[in-house]
Amino acid sequence: MQNRGKSDNRIDERLAAAASAGNGALLPYLTGGYPDLEATAEWIKRFDAVGITAIEIGFPYSDSIADGPVIQDSFHRALEGGLKVRELFDMAGSVRPQVDVALLAMVSFSIVQRMGTEVFTRRAGESGFDGLIVPDIPFEEAGDVTDAVAAQGLRHVMLVAPSTPPRRAEEIARRSTGFVYQVAARGITGERDKLPDDLRARVQRLRAVSRKPVCVGFGISNAAHVRQVCEVADGAIVGSAIVRRITEALDAGKPRQVVVDTIAAFVEGLAEGIR
C-alpha cells in the first residue's frame, strides 16, 4: 500500500469512493483482540476483500459507559485474556500494509489519557489507524484530542445522540472530522427491532450545517437495517450484532476457523444492504 501524507486520509477517500459509486458505506465494529488478535487481523483482511469502507476497532476497557452487555462482555473476555493496548497497535501495524480499508480506534478517553494524548495518537497513526472515536469525552473538553489527532493526519469522529439539543448537535457536526456519527437510538449499544421514525430528520439537520458524511450506528443489526439507513445517511455502523455472533459461536464450541468464517459471511451479507 502507498504511503500517505498527513493531508490524505482513508476515511475521507473511502467514503467519497462509496458515494461516487452510488453506494452507502458499511462500517462494521470489532472488539479488538476478541477472541484473539489473529482473528481480528483475519477479519480486517476478509472485510477489506469484500469492499468494506471502514472498520471500527474497539479497545477493550473495564468501565465502558456507552456499550451494552454484549460488547461489555467481549471487553471482559479480551481483558481476562491479558490483552494490552500495545498489542492492538502491533496487530494493526502488521495488517495495514495488506489492506486499504480505513481503520478507526473506538477508545475510552481513560485509555488515551493514561498513555498520554500525544503518545496515543502518534502510536495510532504509526500503526495505520485513520481516525479515533472517543465516545466518553464531551466536545467542549475534546480540544486537545482533536489537535493531537489532526497533527497525525487522523480524523476525530464525534457522536451526536438523539437527546442532543439542536444547537449542540450542529456544533458537534461542525467540529467532527471524517464523518459525523449519528447515534440512532437512545441508550447503550445493542440490537433493536426497528429504526427510529425521526432518524431521517435528524440526519438532514446535520447535513444542513455540515458537508461531512453522516454515518448512523447503535441498533443496526441486519442487511435490511443497513439498507434503510443508507437511504437517509451515508453509512451504517454495525457492532453488537457482530459481536453477539462471535460470542454465540464461541460458547457453542465452534472451531476457531468456523467462527472466523461465520462472521466474515455475516458481514458480507450486511454489505448487500449498501449496494
User: Is 40 in contact with 29 (CB distance < 8 Å)?
Assistant: no
12, 42, 48, 56: the active-site residue: 56
Our answer to whether residue 268 is catalytic in this structure is no
C-alpha cell read off for 158 = 464525534
Q: Report the alpha-carbon distance of residue 37 to residue 1 in Å, rounded.
A: 22
Our answer to whether residue 248 is catalytic in this structure is no
How far from chain centre, in Å, is Cα 273?
A: 18
Q: Report the alpha-carbon distance of residue 138 to residue 131 in Å, rounded.
A: 17
248's CB contacts (< 8 A; 6+ apart) are none
CA distances from 138 to 141, 160, 164, 215, 256 (A): 5, 11, 12, 19, 39
54's CB contacts (< 8 A; 6+ apart) are 10, 11, 14, 15, 25, 27, 101, 102, 103, 104, 130, 235
User: Is 214 in contact with 180 (CB distance < 8 Å)?
Assistant: yes
67, 130, 171, 234: the active-site residue: 67
41's CB contacts (< 8 A; 6+ apart) are 91, 94, 95
- Residues labelled catalytic: 56, 67
